[in-house]
A and B are shown apart, each in its own frame.
Chain A
């Protein structure tokens, strides 16, 4: 079965520093991987996805993610964090007609 794991419940980063939110996956076949962000009391917003092709995927709000097949990872990155990036981030993998989500990582950017 398809699954993803987010090893960190919480990540704290100083404003202006680079940030990384980690995700590893386990799939049979080709992985279709996604990142979503959820701000407080809001729905999920799509950030980016990897389907095929370039291992570095660029998405919304300056975020990017690097697909690494050998390490089965799909880490979310941003070169310079903003306080407004503070939110709950979910990695997900496509299953059978659905998304399978990781447990989420709460990202806090400190001014």
Chain B
């Protein structure tokens, strides 16, 4: 089973709202990711959690706040977003990383479509 589940599939929020995107995997993976994807563009990495600790933050604005409650769950808390933040947000997971490269396959969820109005 190579499934990453994301909820909600669609979210519309105002610029003053607080909302969260949720992600779950049961593959025993120890690395989880948030990517942002604009239409017809490649995914852009936002955050990486490795063994439940934040290991990469690609200079993402603080209005995006990730959280990894346990090894199976990953959240992305959203607050005071801008219309340009509207995009497809992809969660992904993989085996844990090791130095020197790993060849880990990263498995993606179906994404959450976010519209900021």
Contacts and interface: CB of A to CB of B under 8 A. Distances in A.
Interface residues of A, number: 26
Sort chain B's interface into a size bin.
20 to 34
Contacts of A49: 103, 105
Contact of A43 (B40, B42, B105, B110): B110
A41 B90 CA distance: 12
B45 A104 contact: no
A97 interface: yes
B66 interface: no
B25 interface: no
Interface of B: 2, 4, 6, 31, 33, 40-43, 45, 48, 50, 55-56, 90, 92, 97, 101-111, 113
Interface of A: 29-30, 32, 34, 36, 41-46, 49, 51-52, 88, 90, 94, 96-99, 101-104, 106
